[in-house]
Amino acid sequence: MVVDAVNDLNRVALADVGDPEISTRISQYEMAYRMQTSVPELMDITSEPQKVHEMYGTQPGKTSFANNCLLARRLVERGVRFVQLFDQGWDHHGSVFNSLPGKTRQVDKPIAALIRDLREKGLLDETLVIWSAEFGRTPMAQGAVGNGTRKTKAGRDHHKDAYSVWMAGGGCRAGHVHGATDELGHSIARDPVHVHDFNATILHLLGIDHERLTFRYQGRQFRLTDVHGGVVKKILA
């Protein structure tokens, strides 16, 4: 089996390098595999009503962000406490004007369906949903601008100084917009939120005091928010 082959390779690397992190990863992957194979019914979305598939835009048997959103709801309603979804194809250094509209169509419908589904099942108030990336995109274009006879291949570069995230459920205030950029969308103009503030707020919504939660690393205690961070109270319900 592929799983056994990967496990054997990991153990060869562990014997060769002796890094305890490899041992930890082996145990994590084994646990993840056991969890998935122990609940085959959970991973089978064909049992969902047709109206649910239409709401999410899911296609059973195919790999898609929509299918993952539906799986997320199925995990949550069965008591899984943390679910993380990944999506790729956002690295638009080129052809952003051609690529982005289709990409947004792929995610908008299932995201809206997930929130609606959680609300209708009475799970949204106790489930915190967060959509974010590690940085934003510049408001100005980069790359080719075209020569008047063909479509531009322009894209947008990495931009860490101002970008948006959204949160739903789990104690967040619905319909609230916090902060603003300048007229160019380049810099923060009002109510900045540092990553430490963001993490402090998430921990607060999970019922954890970010100033008391610590972990030991290299001989001293650390906080997830370092020595900074404050709960953004304006977004709380």
pLDDT, one tens digit per residue, over 114-160 is 999 999 999 999 999 999 998 999 998 887 655 555 555 788 999 99
Where in the sequence is the domain holding 5, given as residue range(s)? 1-38
pTM of the model: 0.82
Reported as a single tens digit per residue, the pLDDT across 14-63 is 888 878 887 888 888 888 888 778 788 888 999 999 999 999 999 999 99
Q: Are 172 and 128 in contact (CB under 8 A)?
A: yes
Both 110 and 85 in one domain: the answer is: yes
Residue 130 lies in a domain: no
Both 5 and 47 in one domain: the answer is: no
**Going by DSSP bridges, is the β-strand pair 158-159/188-190 parallel, antiparallel, or unpaired?**
unpaired
**Which among 132, 159, 186 is the end of a domain?**
159
DSSP state of 211: T
Both 50 and 108 in one domain: the answer is: yes
Residue 224 lies in a domain: yes
Backbone angles phi, psi at 152, to 5 degrees: -70, 150
Residue 91 lies in a domain: yes
Both 54 and 155 in one domain: the answer is: yes
In 3D space, the residue among 72, 70, 40, 49 whose CA is nearest the CA of residue 58 turns out to be 70
SS3 228: coil
Q: How do the residues of the chain divide into helix, strand and coil, expressed in percent and rounded to 5?
A: 45, 10, 45
Both 20 and 76 in one domain: the answer is: no
Q: How far, in Å, CA of 109 to CA of 67, rounded? A: 11
